[in-house]
Amino acid sequence: MIYNQMRPEKEAIAKAAGLLGKAKNPMIVVETGVSRNNALDEVVKLAELTGARVYQSWMSDVNFPVGHAQYKGDLHLMGSKGKQILQMADILVLVGSQLWGKMPLLSDKTRVIQIDDDPLEIGKNLTVICGIPGNIKSSLIEISEALQKGMSALEKAEALNRVKTITREKKP
């Protein structure tokens, strides 16, 4: 099967990078789009740059290294715990993933960035502030590059502190 090989729009990349650079509690949810686009390294890099917690959609294939400090496991949205987790995010990045469950899933303050190789999936289940249709790997590379160039020293320090906090949470 041939997946969408469109390059992401520059305006969408800039918007996503701007939102992620200012995020206080970013979260990434991954699913099969990551593996379809051979984008594992790229999603790891984005997580590390932003200091995001990373979940996978419940019962999907694993699309993030399970031993990575920022990997938090399955996100099951049929119960209240999954919704509580989602509602903590100020920026939610869906990478090759759809979320569904009992609405509302998100806080009214949560902004959604959705990256998918199928343009019909963008905004299908949630309202997105920034939709990026196209090749997922290329999109992640370009967002990470824009982040590295655009983040202030303070934003980089805050992201690093989030990584340290998540790492401490994961230790037994």
pLDDT per residue, tens digit, the chain (172 aa), is 445 677 888 999 999 999 999 999 999 999 988 998 999 999 999 999 999 999 998 767 778 999 999 999 888 877 778 888 888 999 999 999 887 655 567 888 999 999 999 888 898 888 899 999 999 999 999 999 999 999 999 999 999 999 999 998 876 6
pLDDT value of residue 82: 82
Torsion angle of C-alpha atoms 124, 6, 152, 91, degrees rounded to 10: 10
CA nearest neighbour of 11 among 103, 109, 130: 130
What six digits make up the tokens of 132? 């990026």
Write down the pTM of the prediction: 0.92
Domains of the chain (ranges; CATH) run 10-170 (3.40.50.1220)
pLDDT value of residue 6: 77
